[in-house]
Amino acid sequence: MAQPAHTAHTGPAGPTGHTAVRLHCFAHAGAGDSAFRRWKRAVGSGVEAASWPLPGRDRRRREPRITTREELLADLKPLFEQVADEPEVPYVLYGHSRGGTVAYTVARALAEARLPQPALVAIGACPPPDAPAALAGAAGLPDAEFLAVLERYGAAPPGAEPGDLWHRMVLPVLRDDLRLALDLRTAADGPLAVPLLAVNGSEDRIADAAALAGWQRWTTGRVVRRTLPGGHFFVRGPELPRLLGRAARTAARIAARGHHVDSTDSTDSTDKGEGR
C-alpha cells in the first residue's frame, strides 16, 4: 500500500518562530483534505494542522480504499513514525464524525506501541463506540436504502439519485468509509488515558450533546464538552478550528510543564454555546 502524504496547514509561527504543537486531523466519511483546507490561519499562531486523508480520495483517489482497523493502522504508519521520531513535540488528535473513531483508534494504538501520547484527543460529531451509530450501521444496506438513510440525516445532497455523478463517485467512498467506522467501533477495546474534548453541533441529528457525553466512559482523563453552532458538518464553520487552536495551545503549555491536562486544567477560553 502506498504511504499517505499528509497535508500540513500551518498557522503563523509562535513567538519562538517554531510550531509549538501539531494538530493531526481526520475527516468525516467521504471527505479528504478539503475538510481542513481553510484551517491554516483559523487555528491561530503556533499550531500546525495536518490532515491525513485516507486512500480513495483527493490525491490518493487511485489507491484502494480501506475498511478495517489493520489497514488503517498500516496506512497511518508515517504518523506513528513521526510521533516516535519527535517525542519532544506535543500533539493533538482531532477526528470529525467517522474521523472521531479514527482518532480514538490511533490514540489506543499509540498507547499499545508505548509511543508518546497525545496531549489531547478531540472528537467532533461522533458518538462513542458503544452508542448507536445510524450511518455506520447502514453501510451494508442496498444502494436505495442506504441513500434513504443518508438523506434522512442530511448526509446526502438534495436530489441525489441512483446513477448520477454523486452516486457514482462519492457514494462508494462514503459506504467504505462507514464500513471502516463500523469495524473500528466493533474493535474498540477500552478507554484512553488522556484528556478528551467532545464537540457537537447545536443542530446535529446524528450526534447530539447527549450522545457526545458518552465519551466520558471512554477515557480515564478529564472530559470537556462544547457545543458549536451548526449541524453534523459544523467542521465547515469558523468556530471549530478556533476552538481547537486554543485547545492545542493550552495542551502545548501543559506539555511544557511535563504533564497531561488533568482536572485542574481547561482550554484557554470558554467557547460560545454550551460548555460542560
Q: What is the pLDDT of residue 275?
A: 39
pLDDT digit string (tens) for 231-250?
Answer: 999 999 999 999 999 999 99
Q: Which residue has the higher pLDDT, 211 or 13?
A: 211
Percentage of the chain beyond pLDDT 90 is: 70
- 163: three-class secondary structure by DSSP: coil
How much is the average pLDDT of 196-203? 98
pLDDT band at 12 (very low <50, low <70, confident <90, very high): very low
105-108 long-range contacts, CB within 8 A, separation 24+: 105/69, 105/72, 105/73, 105/184, 105/187, 105/188, 106/24, 106/26, 106/73, 106/76, 106/79, 107/192, 107/194, 108/188, 108/189, 108/190, 108/192
Mean pLDDT of the chain: 87
| Lowest mean per-residue pLDDT among 26-35, 101-110, 118-127, 209-218 | 26-35
Residue 152 has pLDDT above 60, yes or no: yes
Q: Which residue has the higher pLDDT, 269 or 178?
A: 178
How much is the average pLDDT of 74-99? 97
Q: What is the pLDDT of residue 274?
A: 37
Q: Which residue has the higher pLDDT, 275 or 253?
A: 253
Residue 10 has pLDDT above 90, yes or no: no
Q: What is the pLDDT of residue 256?
A: 77
pTM score > 0.75 for this model? yes
Q: What is the pLDDT of residue 264?
A: 31
Q: What is the pLDDT of residue 64?
A: 97
pLDDT digit string (tens) for 215-233?
Answer: 999 999 999 999 999 999 9
Displacement of CA 239 from its chain's centroid (Å): 15
Q: Which residue has the higher pLDDT, 122 or 159?
A: 122
Percentage of the chain beyond pLDDT 70 is: 86
Nearest to 43 by CA among 194, 252, 213: 252
C-alpha cell at 176: 467504505
Residue 74 has pLDDT above 50, yes or no: yes
